[in-house]
Amino acid sequence: MAQGDMGRLVLEGEGGTLLNCPAGDVTLALVIEPGASMGHVLFAAQKAAAEIESILAQR
């Protein structure tokens, strides 16, 4: 059963949130403090993941 590529993975706990974003063949993992603006974090994470993917593609 084909599931497609991984999107983002969000794990929420009492001490904060773990966010995994795909960045090409690697994954960007972020530990987010409670109370952080998830909108800002998601925007910055997607931008960073795209930059990482671009850098790794040049290798």
Domain ranges of the chain: 20-57
Q: Are 1 and 19 in contact (CB under 8 A)?
A: no
Q: Residue range 28-40: average pLDDT?
A: 96
Average pLDDT, the chain: 93
Structure confidence at residue 1 as a pLDDT band (50, 70, 90): low
Per the structure block, which two tokens stand in for 50?
Answer: 């795209």
pLDDT digit string (tens) for 10-27? 999 999 999 999 999 999
SS3 of the chain: helix, strand, coil, percent, to 5: 35, 35, 30
Single-letter amino acid code for the residue at 27: T
The beta strand positions in the chain, using DSSP E, are 9-13, 16-23, 26-32
User: pTM of the entire structure?
Assistant: 0.82
Q: Is the pLDDT of residue 2 over 80?
A: no
